[in-house]
A and B are shown apart, each in its own frame.
Chain A
Amino acid sequence: AQTVTQSQPEMSVQEAETVTLSCTYDTSESDYYLFWYKQPPSRQMILVIRQEAYKQQNATENRFSVNFQKAAKSFSLKISDSQLGDAAMYFCAYRRPSGNTPLVFGKGTRLSVIA
C-alpha cells in the first residue's frame, strides 16, 4: 500500500519570504501522480499543484513550485513571496495513474504566515 509522510506538523514563514514544505512517499509503482492541496481554516480543500511521475521537469504554478526527486521518493513544495492568504493546512497526496482512483494523503503541515 502506498503511504505519504509529512514530517513537519507546523511551519511558519514571514510575509514575502520563501518556505519549503516536505513530503516523502512510498510506492512500488513507477507511474503515479503527486499533489499538494491547501485547506484554509473552515474552507474547502483546493488543489495547489500536481506532478506526473513520468515528467522530470518540476511543476510550477505562479508562486508555488515543487522539487520532485523520484529516486528519493521526495516531493517538496516551495512557496515564494509568501502572503497572508497562504496560511492554511497543506496536504501532500499520492494517486495511482488511472483516472478515478482515490487520493492517499499525508497528515498535513500547518503553515502560519507572520506579517
Chain B
Amino acid sequence: EAGVAQSPRYKIIEKRQSVAFWCNPISGHATLYWYQQILGQGPKLLIQFQNNGVVDDSQLPKDRFSAERLKGVDSTLKIQPAKLEDSAVYLCASSLIGGRAFDEQFFGPGTRLTVL
C-alpha cells in the first residue's frame, strides 16, 4: 500500500512570508497527526485530526499556524507569518482508528522548512 505522502520536501522562505505544507495519509486512515521536529529534538505534536475534526491542537501556535482536513482525507498546515524559530522538519503521520487498543502511526518523509 502507498505510504504517507508529503509535499514539498524542502522549502526555503524569508521571515514574515507564508508557507503551506500538504499531507495525504494512507488510504482509510482516520487519524492524522502533524508533528514539528526542530533540529536536535524529537518530534512534538502540533495538531491531531480524527476524520475532519480536531482532537488536539493544544500545542499549535494559533496566532500563526493553522491546519485543516476538510474532507477527512488530506490535510494542509499553514504558517503565516513565519518566524526564524519555525525552521524545522514538519512530519505528517496517520493511523487507523478501528477500536483496537493499538494502532501504529505511519510517518511521511517530512517537509524541511528553512526560514531566513
Asked if B31 contacts A100 (CB within 8 A), the reply is yes
Asked if A107 contacts B42 (CB within 8 A), the reply is yes
Closest to A110 in B: B40
Task: Collect the chain A residues with CB atoms within 8 Å of residue B72's CB.
Answer: none
Contact with B along A80-105 (1 / 0, CB 8 A): 00000000000101000111101101
Secondary structure class of chain A's binding surface, majority of residues: loop
Known: A99-B103, A102-B33, A102-B48. A44 touches B41 (CB 8 A): no
How many residues of chain B have a CB within 8 Å of chain A? Answer: 31
Say which one of B11-19, B20-28, B60-68, B93-101 lies at the interface with A.
B93-101
Which chain B residues (80-116) contact chain A, with CB distance < 8 Å? 91, 95, 97-105, 107-110
B77 part of interface (Cβ distance < 8 Å): no
Q: How far, in angstroms, from A91 to B35 measured CA to CA in the complex? A: 14
Asked if A100 contacts B42 (CB within 8 A), the reply is no
Interface residues on A, range: 20 to 34
Contact with A along B44-55 (1 / 0, CB 8 A): 110010100001
Secondary structure class of chain B's binding surface, majority of residues: loop
Closest to A92 in B: B42
Known: A43-B109, A44-B107, A44-B110. A99 touches B42 (CB 8 A): no
B94 to chain A, nearest CB (A): 10
8 shortest interchain CB distances as A-B pairs: A105-B42, A102-B45, A45-B107, A100-B31, A44-B109, A100-B97, A99-B103, A44-B107
A residues apposed to B, CB below 8 Å: 4, 6, 33, 43-47, 50, 52, 91, 93, 97-100, 102-103, 105-108
B residues apposed to A, CB below 8 Å: 3-4, 30-31, 33, 35, 40-45, 48, 50, 55-56, 91, 95, 97-105, 107-110
